[in-house]
Structure 1
Amino acid sequence: MKLPSPRGPVSDAVIAALVQAPHDFSAGDPDSDDDLHLTLFVLYELHYRGWDGVDDTWEWHPALLGLRARLEARFEAILRELPVPEATDDVPHALIEMTRETGGPSLSGYLRGRATREQFREFATHRSVYHLREADPHTFAIPRLAGPAKAALIEVQIDEYGGGVTHRMHQEMFKDTMTALGLDSTYGAYVDVVPWQTLANNNLMSLFGLHRRLRGALLGHLAAYEMTSTGPNRSYGNALRRLGGDAAATRFYDEHVEADAVHEQIAAFDMCGSFCAAEPELAADVLFGARCVLTLEDRWAEYVLSRWEAGESSLRT
């Protein structure tokens, strides 16, 4: 993946450093959400597939880790201000109640009934940042779990990775959707054009995934993701069919309608329920992770819809 263009002083300093051999450097504070989240995204990507022309030893460089910790603390402090339900002995049903909330804007409803083909292409562009590496952030939790919770997470992840069959991997299915829409399916092709709200959604799961102390939050994130997936993906598939998409184009969404109907039960009860039974002191973290993803997704949807309703693109120009 090619390094993106900077969006402020900190992302500028980091990107300028990464094209050189590893060395000590310092950076100040981000001057905007764009600068903060692009910098975090660039730093997190070093733990995934890396950047073209960037020395892999940067991944664990002390200067980068120190900067990342400072930016993460700023991001997490904002997240900790979100209202979270009281910890309970029945986390699965608490998750069910949280995911039944309907206070946010219905982006899926807009796409199903009103969106133009260009707007659907924009939607896919936003989502490509995650879907082209779908499941990878949550896989970080596997070695941090044991027993039934670990088995349940692996059951979900096996489906995400297509049971080991390349063309059935959700990452690969989404490439077919992008190709049908005339989009570039190269990994990370659209990082430069998505707004900070899209990057924040991706940074959230990386923040949870890369810290063992936040393993409960990562499971809550995944559970909320799976538990709110079936209906929207049905709408996305129907929207794309309305806009002329064929079976190959809609396969990604249709697959999620079927798979996530099963995953939501596994994630809530077998994964999160078992995890909280084994580590009850982390039950609040599970609910925190769910609240974070539900809130950030709502805010992202609100941003996208506000731009479309104003007759503007939701992407950066």
Structure 2
Amino acid sequence: MEYDREGPQLPTARGPVSGAVGAHLLGTGPLPSPEAVAAAPVYGDDLQLALYQCYELHYRGFAGVSPGLEWDPGLLGVRATMERRFLSALRADTPVHDSVADAVGALLVEPVHGEGVSHFLRDEGERWHLREYAAQRSLYHLKEADPHAWVLPRLWGRPKAAMAAVEFDEWGGGRAERVHARLFADLMTDLDLDTTYGAHLDAASAECLATVNMMSLFGLHRSLRGALVGHFAAVEITSSPGSRRLAEAMRRTGAGPAAEHFYDEHVEADAVHEQVVRHEVIDGLLEQEPGLAADVVFGIDATGHLEDRLGARLLADWRAGRSSLLRPLPAARRVDGGIAHVS
């Protein structure tokens, strides 16, 4: 049997479901029982990590795990059960707008007195907050734009061309050093973080896992292509103002030039992407398939729902003076005047 040797290490189990999935991937135990899957809290660490493990087989896999398990029938059955629970919870818990115009319009309105994570980091965040934020976000940003690529073969004509154009920018416009995942790794280097793909999976909260799992859920199901487009729109439309605040946070704390550049790049690029996504991807898709309007709205609003949950978790922890991570990060080493300091 062939095994992946270059992928990340399997994460530490967070309960019976993720433990059984991990054991199955290593060939050391059975899949979780239907009863265990049904009992696991849908937004909790155990189910979200188990789902993340299943999805990661479609990206880079795990060290010591056979690539053939990507399409293992038993594992796919367990994944489908977890997906149904996750999707049902999202549909039940997400307040949705009445129309695409209303949902997009809400994204375009910036609050006068914002209180979100980017506002906190800009105004009062310390270096350790920035490091934790980057560690959690690395689960997505080190594969930035990859989950959205699943939708490309499900589109055609105008929305496909526009979506591909935005993705091409995200992947550096043909230049490896400008791939956004590479730029984020450079940001992590400035913040003295391990840039290895998957290195911070064990530290990430369930709320963070859920945001990435939702992208994979939408991307891997053709029936959810409208939701994936809605999710992508939410990301691109809100990215520019949020990135501006995060760039200011990096400058204020002296995080480093690469840390500043990552968010500066997104301020400029995503301001353009917003227009393309709104007028070419969404409008083009709904011109072809008007019946997907409700799915686009759901994708937009479900993204906001999960981002709000993550933001609430981060801010509650930080304002209480505690870490938002499940595992502490190694101490950062900074060099000033040739002298190394540990912080």
Q: TM-score range by the shorter chain?
A: over 0.9
Q: In 2, Cα distance between the equivalents of 1:235 and 1:316?
A: 26
Say whether residues 1:59 and 2:70 are aligned partners. Answer: yes
Q: Whose RCO is larger (CA < 8 A, sep 6+)?
A: 1
Could you say which residue in structure 2 is the equivalent of 1:85?
97
Could you say which residue in structure 1 is the equivalent of 2:300?
290
Asked if the contact 1:98–1:291 (Cα under 8 Å) also holds between the matched residues in 2, the reply is no
User: Is the partner of 1:74 in helix, strand or coil?
Assistant: helix
Distance change in 2, residues 1:99/1:292 (3 Å): farther
Alpha-carbon deviations, 1:13-69, whole Å to 9, x = none?
Answer: 110111128x97453325341111000000000001100000011111111010000
Distance change in 2, residues 1:186/1:84 (3 Å): same
Q: In 1, Cα distance between the equivalents of 2:60 and 2:315?
A: 31
Following TM superposition, by how much is the alpha carbon of 1:100 offset from its aligned partner in structure 2, in angstroms? 2.6
1:12-91 aligned within 5 A: 12-20=19-27, 25-27=31-33, 28-29=36-37, 30-32=39-41, 33-81=44-92, 82-87=94-99, 91=100
Distance change in 2, residues 1:243/1:101 (3 Å): closer
Q: Which runs of 5+ in 1 are unaligned?
A: none
Q: In 2, Cα distance between the equivalents of 1:94 and 1:11?
A: 35
Q: In 1, Cα distance between the equivalents of 2:283 and 2:225?
A: 14
Moved over 6 A (4+): none
Could you say which residue in structure 2 is the equivalent of 1:8?
15
1:70-219 aligned within 5 A: 70-81=81-92, 82-87=94-99, 91-92=100-101, 94-100=103-109, 102=111, 105-219=115-229
Q: In 2, Cα distance between the equivalents of 1:187 and 1:204?
A: 19
Q: In 2, Cα distance between the equivalents of 1:31 and 1:101?
A: 37
Could you say which residue in structure 2 is the equivalent of 1:232?
242
Equivalent position amino acid for 1:96 in 2: G
Alpha-carbon deviations, 1:266-290, whole Å to 9, x = none?
Answer: 1111101110110000111001000
Task: Output the aligned Cα RMSD.
Answer: 1.6
TM-score (structure 1 length as normaliser): 0.95
Q: In 2, Cα distance between the equivalents of 1:298 and 1:180?
A: 27
Equivalent position amino acid for 2:251 in 1: R
Asked if the contact 1:220–1:289 (Cα under 8 Å) also holds between the matched residues in 2, the reply is yes
Q: In 2, Cα distance between the equivalents of 1:152 and 1:93?
A: 22
Q: In 2, Cα distance between the equivalents of 1:26 and 1:237?
A: 43
Equivalent position amino acid for 1:244 in 2: G
Q: In 2, Cα distance between the equivalents of 1:25 and 1:242?
A: 48
Q: In 1, Cα distance between the equivalents of 2:110 and 2:245?
A: 18
Asked if the contact 1:230–1:260 (Cα under 8 Å) also holds between the matched residues in 2, the reply is yes
Following TM superposition, by how much is the alpha carbon of 1:246 offset from its aligned partner in structure 2, in angstroms? 2.9
Following TM superposition, by how much is the alpha carbon of 1:313 offset from its aligned partner in structure 2, in angstroms? 0.4
Alpha-carbon deviations, 1:221-266, whole Å to 9, x = none?
Answer: 0001000001110111111111113322211111000000000111
Following TM superposition, by how much is the alpha carbon of 1:294 offset from its aligned partner in structure 2, in angstroms? 1.0
User: Is the partner of 1:86 in helix, strand or coil?
Assistant: coil
Q: Judge which range, 238-247 or 169-178, deviates more.
A: 238-247
Could you say which residue in structure 1 is the equivalent of 2:334?
none
Identity over aligned pairs, percent: 49
Equivalent position amino acid for 1:186 in 2: T
Asked if the contact 2:103–2:301 (Cα under 8 Å) also holds between the matched residues in 1, the reply is no
1:217-296 aligned within 5 A: 217-296=227-306
Following TM superposition, by how much is the alpha carbon of 1:104 offset from its aligned partner in structure 2, in angstroms? 7.9
Q: In 1, Cα distance between the equivalents of 2:102 and 2:319?
A: 36
Q: Judge which range, 103-112 or 243-252, deviates more.
A: 103-112
Q: In 1, Cα distance between the equivalents of 2:31 and 2:116?
A: 44
Q: Which runs of 5+ in 2 are unaligned?
A: 1-7, 328-343
Distance change in 2, residues 1:128/1:26 (3 Å): closer
Following TM superposition, by how much is the alpha carbon of 1:96 offset from its aligned partner in structure 2, in angstroms? 2.4
Q: How many residues in Structure 1 have an aligned counterpart in Structure 2? A: 313
TM-score (structure 2 length as normaliser): 0.88
